[in-house]
Structure 1
Amino acid sequence: MIRKFFLERASWILFFLFVESFFLFIAYLDAAVPFDSILYMVFLSSILFLLFLAFRYRKETEFYRNLEEREGDLDYASVPEGESPFEKIVSEKMQSLLDDYRRKLAKNRLSLEQEKDELLSWIHEMKTPLSAMHLMIDRVADETLRDQLTYEWLRIHLLLDKQLHQKRIATMENDVFIEQVALEPVIFQEIKALRSWCISKGIGFDVSLEAEDVLTDGKWLSFILRQILTNAVKYSESADILIKSEKKGEHVRLEITDFGRGIDPRDLPRIFDKGFTSAKDHQNSGATGMGLYLAKKAADFLHIRIDVKSKPGEGTTFILTFPKKNEFVRLAGM
């Protein structure tokens, strides 16, 4: 701040030094002017000028120091009150801008809420024709055609489900209920939803649950498992997917292992990034790069740690480590 102050007042300081030097120069040229007296006056005026600078530094920088330390929010109270005319101009202008930003923010927030409500309404409305379509597909006599139609139906269903949770995850704290959740019905419900797809690809499931219950939100756990299982089925062919749970100290671990193509080591650190798709998926227009990103966001909120181990050509293991009871103090009241 001192350096900025001297840079701001550099013209004043240079002007003062020029005047002092000019007086000394005149006294040096004119013998009638006592040089020692002028030198003494220059010395005294320099002392006074330094004291004046010190006083003005404290006076002038207080407002800007408070402004620099101000948090980047829209709170009026954090805007320092100016004392000098120029400081008052800055303070009043900032308050005017904050008013404008707050109005625009409220307007944009309302617009986003309306858009979100409209989209959620549309998704829910789509579920009715999808359910009817599923019943019609079940009545198709041609088994090959029925499997193809069921697969396409499932893709639409999963995309709508992903979009629904993507909109809900921003306000997830309002949609969480922590309780003891039985793993078996949740897992088998998700397997059942993928049954036709798994049959067409020759994929089975080997489920072994030593630990049967976890403390979490059942609905969001289903969503997390749905994303992991969908990827496991998508990238596997004619192989079983292993699902097992076990107790590790006070934590429950759930492992989901597939024997598909695996994940490239270069891609592994980025699989939870928003919109990330591997190089092998760039030609796949159906890959959105949002499933694992949303699953990780939901898991982080529920204090579920997700670890991934993978070898290209051998398969991938997702490990979900559920929190202890005392880690849910913040979520328990929701």
Structure 2
Amino acid sequence: MNWIKQIYDSFNAYKLWFLIFIATCFLFSFLAWLAYPETFKVLVGLMIVFTLAMISMSIFMIMRKQKIIEAAFQNFLLEATETNEEILCKVSPRTHWPFIRRIGSAIRSYQAELNEQVIELNEYENYIEGWVHEIKKPLSLMTLILDNRSDEMSPLVRQRMLHIREQMLGDVERILYFARLGAAHKDYIFESISLLAFCKQTIENHQPILDEAGFQIQFKGDEAEIFSDRKGLAFILEQIITNSTKHAAQNQEHPILQFETVHDEAGNQTILHIRDNGPGVFEEDLPFIFDKGFTGRRGTYTREATGMGLFLVSRMANDLAIQLDAKSELGSGLTISLLFPKVKQ
């Protein structure tokens, strides 16, 4: 059926010339009838055979020419060099040459701009990764001082220093992850994880920030086994905890952060609800809290709001096949739910 379509397309492309040729044949047939009525049938038969032969030969040559043009055009699209442009011009009608050269010039211009942007992006990523590794040196020194010279500090000063260190570490992790968003290879290792125990461990790792903000931590529900990547899941929990410390602690004398596991038998899922009792999110802002750079009206009340934390959470959750859901009422806090799929081991 493909060759029938090719024949039809070839005939349709040059139908005006074919119609003129057929009309000319009819004219000569009429003249033959006037001039040679006794041999009219023989002449008309020969003319019909000649017409069909010429049309068939023309269509065959047009199809062959189209294949040559198509091959040259494919090469031109894959690599719009001046050499491929000239090859395409040679096999194309002369009337198409100005358009081909204009297209080639535009493609080469866009390709040059794209190459420059790729180089700049690679340089930016390399700079960010290098900066992250450099900033870890003073952070390591701060950790060393906090571990070895804690007796020279007052408890309040040490707690504030730990709080600042945790904030800086969180910012560094966000920058590093954002710089690697487009990486082709991501080293995830999926394994069985006890969800509540893992949440408690993550809380312990970020206790200075929570203590500084005066958070009360609550755990509800039964222990649940999920299948995920430890580093990725820790990153998600860290960003949600950081988001709560930035917002929930502002308007609450006794901020609360609650972790609750639920087994959804109908959906065959394990769900982790993370709730705070902060100011909540406006209803019109709620669908967009995972969008890049979105801070909403609530973001205007805090200098720390960048709209990047929950965006990175959504990207990591997508990589780990975790569904996200958010519910909130203004003045009643924010609940972010992580829906883990059931995996047969």
- Normalised by the length of structure 1, the TM-score is 0.66
Match of 2:259 among 216, 219, 243: 243
Q: Which amino acid is 1:263 matched to? A: V
Is the counterpart of residue 179 in structure 1 residue 188 in structure 2? Answer: no
Match of 1:119 among 128, 132, 137: 128
* 2:171 match: 159
Q: Does the 8 A contact of 2:159 with 2:208 survive in 1? A: no
Change (3 A) 1:44 1:212: closer
Q: Which amino acid is 1:247 matched to? A: H
Listed one character per residue, the Cα deviations across residues 239-296 of structure 1 (whole Å, up to 9, x for unaligned) are 3121112333453221101222323333333333333332443686643333222222
- CA apart distance, 1:222: 0.4
Q: Which amino acid is 1:275 matched to? A: G
* 1:223 match: 235
Paired-residue identity, %: 25
- Give the match's secondary structure for 1:312: coil
Listed one character per residue, the Cα deviations across residues 304-331 of structure 1 (whole Å, up to 9, x for unaligned) are 22222222332221111222233x8xxx
Alignment length (residue pairs): 303
- Give the match's secondary structure for 1:125: helix
- Give the match's secondary structure for 1:254: strand
Q: Does the 8 A contact of 2:282 with 2:297 survive in 1? A: no
Find the aligned partners of 2:293 and 2:44 in 1 and give their Cα distance.
73
* 1:51 match: 56
Find the aligned partners of 1:181 and 1:46 in 2 and give their Cα distance.
80
Change (3 A) 1:219 1:209: farther
Matches within 5 A, 1:147-296: 147=160, 153-171=165-183, 173-184=185-196, 186-192=198-204, 194-236=206-248, 237-238=251-252, 239-249=255-265, 251-281=269-299, 286-296=304-314
Listed one character per residue, the Cα deviations across residues 184-208 of structure 1 (whole Å, up to 9, x for unaligned) are 4542344345544444544322122
Find the aligned partners of 1:263 and 1:5 in 2 and give their Cα distance.
62
**Alignment RMSD:** 5.0
Find the aligned partners of 2:233 and 2:184 in 1 and give their Cα distance.
13
- Give the match's secondary structure for 1:275: coil
Change (3 A) 1:260 1:14: farther
Q: Does the 8 A contact of 2:163 with 2:209 survive in 1? A: yes
Gaps of 5+ in 1: 75-81, 88-100, 329-334
Change (3 A) 1:281 1:178: same
Is the counterpart of residue 320 in structure 1 residue 335 in structure 2? Answer: no
Listed one character per residue, the Cα deviations across residues 161-214 of structure 1 (whole Å, up to 9, x for unaligned) are 101122344448542122222334542344345544444544322122512442
- CA apart distance, 1:219: 1.1
Change (3 A) 1:48 1:225: same
Listed one character per residue, the Cα deviations across residues 15-36 of structure 1 (whole Å, up to 9, x for unaligned) are 63675588689x59xx8698x7
Q: Which amino acid is 2:262 matched to? A: E
Listed one character per residue, the Cα deviations across residues 47-72 of structure 1 (whole Å, up to 9, x for unaligned) are 445434554565455567789999x9
- CA apart distance, 1:111: 7.9
Q: Does the 8 A contact of 1:140 with 1:146 survive in 2? A: no
Listed one character per residue, the Cα deviations across residues 65-106 of structure 1 (whole Å, up to 9, x for unaligned) are 789999x989xxxxxxx9xx728xxxxxxxxxxxxx99x999
Find the aligned partners of 1:285 and 1:57 in 2 and give their Cα distance.
68
Q: Bigger shift: 316-325 or 220-229?
A: 316-325
Matches within 5 A, 1:45-124: 46-52=51-57, 54-56=59-61, 58-60=63-65, 86=91, 116-124=125-133
- Give the match's secondary structure for 2:241: helix
Gaps of 5+ in 2: 80-86, 93-109
* 1:128 match: 137
Change (3 A) 1:262 1:20: farther
* 1:78 match: none
Find the aligned partners of 1:53 and 1:39 in 2 and give their Cα distance.
21
